[in-house]
Amino acid sequence: MLPLRDLLGPVHGTREFHRRQVLVALLIKADTQTRLADRTGLSGGTVSTIVSAFQRENIVRTDPGAPRGGGKRGATVRLRPAAGVAVGVYIGFNQAVAVARQADRDHHDVSEQRIDSGAGRGLEELLPAVQEMIEAVVADTGGRLADVVSLGVAVPGMLDPRTNQFATPVLPLWQEGDDPAAELQKWLHRATGVTVPVVQDNDANLAALAEHTYETQEHDETLVFVKASTGVGAGVVVGSRLIRGERGMAGEIGHLTVRPQGDVCFCGGRGCLNTVIGSNVLLREVRESRPSRSADYPRDLLSLITMARAGDAVCRRVLTDAGHTLGFVLAQVCNFLNPNLIVLGGQLAAAGESVLDPCLRSMRRHALPGAVPDGFRLKPSALDRLAEAQGALVLGLSRYATRG
C-alpha cells in the first residue's frame, strides 16, 4: 500500500512540484492523461513523462481497454491502493455533513454522516458534534484519525481568499474570530500528533467545484452552481478556475436587490433575493395564507415541497413564484457571464420541475437570447445533498498542489 503521507511530503523544485500536481489530481479523480493535462495546466508531454515514472514506481495503474484511437493517453490512470483518508465537512445553517474516503477510491465510494444542527448553534457548541462525525466517517472507511491526510470545510459565509477568514462584515450566523478550519486543525493535531492542512471556503463555491470536478466533461466551460435553501448563493467556475473575487464575495446573488422597497435583509440591505425566496420566507407565505386556526403548515422547505407534490395549491404557487423570481435573477447572471451550465442545489432543488420549469421560462424571457441558447443547460445537482461536503474534500486535497 502506498505511503500517502510520505508522497505528500515537502517538495523541492519545479519537477517535484509538477509530480505533486499530477498526484493530487489523481487523488481527486482518476482520469486520462489528456484530461490530467487540462486539469493541472501542464503540457501533455510533461504529464506523460510523470505518469510513466509513476508506473515504473508502482504508484499508478492504467485501466485496460483504452478508447479506440486514444492510445495510452486515452486510458484512465488510477492510483494504486494508498494508506490515507481524505475528509470533507459541510457546516450549514441548520445541518452539518461529513464525508470521508480512502484517498485512492472513487468519489462515489464515500462514508457519510449527517446531523440536523448547524452554525445556528454557535461554533463552540457545534464543534464537538462535527468532530464526532469526522471520527465516525473515518472509522467507516476502515481508517483511524491518524490516517487523515486532508480536511476541507464548507461554510455558509463569505471568506476572504487572501486570509482564509470570514470577510468583513461578518454576517450571521458567524462572529468575529470564528475559524472552523483552525479549530479542527488544532483538534486533529491534539488527537494524532500530526499537523494536517485544513482549509475552508464558501459552501456554494465548493459545491460548484465538486459539480465541475465530478459531473462535467468539458473543462473549458463556465458553470454556475446555485445553492438555494435558507438563503441563496452561487459558486462560479470558469475554465477550471473557481472565481472567488477580491474579497471572496463573488457569487453572492442572495444579496442582489430584487425589490428595492422590500424587506430588510440580515446583511443590512433591502429587498435582497434572500428576503424573497429564502426558505423561511416561503414558509411564512404559506402560513399567512392559512386560516388562523389551521394546523396544516409545512415544517420546513422539504415538507412544503412534499405538500406541493400532493396537490396543495398554495405550496405549488409559492414554489412556482420562487422559480420565476430565481429565473429573473439568473437571467442577469447569464447576460453577464454567459455560462454553459447552471446547476441548482440546496433544498429548493428537491422541488425539481416545479421550480426548474418556471425558472427556465423566466430566464428565457428576461435574458438575451444568446445568453440562454438552445444548448444551454439548467439542471438539478447530480451530487444532491453531498455537493458541499464533496467540494470540501476536493479543496482539502487541492491544498497539496499549491505553492506555499
For residue 67, what is the DSSP state?
A: P
DSSP H or E stretch at residue 126: helix 123-140
Instruction: Encode pLDDT of 294-321 as tens digits.
Output: 778 899 999 999 999 999 999 999 999 9
Helix (H, G, I), strand (E, B) or coil at 236: strand
Q: Of the candidates 29, 346, 80, 89, which has an alpha carbon nearest to the alpha carbon of residue 216?
A: 29
Q: How would you write the pLDDT of the chain (404 residues) with one tens digit per residue?
A: 899 999 999 999 999 999 999 999 999 999 999 999 999 999 999 999 999 999 999 999 998 655 544 456 689 999 999 999 999 999 998 899 999 999 999 999 999 999 998 988 889 999 999 999 999 999 999 999 999 999 999 999 999 988 888 998 888 878 888 999 999 999 999 999 999 999 999 999 999 999 999 998 766 689 999 999 999 999 999 988 999 999 999 999 999 999 999 999 999 999 999 999 999 999 999 999 988 767 788 999 999 999 999 999 999 999 999 999 999 999 999 999 999 999 999 999 999 999 999 999 999 999 999 999 988 999 999 997 899 999 999 999 999 998 76
Is the four-CA dihedral 113, 383, 397, 125 of positive or negative sign? negative
Beta bridge partners, 96, equal 91, 115
DSSP string, 129-194: HHHHHHHHHHHHTT--GGGEEEEEEEESS-EETTTTEEPSSPPTT--TT--HHHHHHHHHHHHHS-
Instruction: Give the span between the Cα atoms of 196 and 73, in whole angstroms.
Output: 33
Is residue 50 within 8 Å of residue 56, measured between CB atoms? Answer: no
Is residue 176 within 8 Å of residue 113, measured between CB atoms? Answer: no
Instruction: Encode pLDDT of 332-380 as tens digits.
Output: 999 999 999 999 999 999 999 999 999 999 999 999 999 999 889 999 9
Long-range pairs for 288-292 at CB < 8 Å and ≥24 separation?
289/314, 290/314
pTM metric for this prediction: 0.94
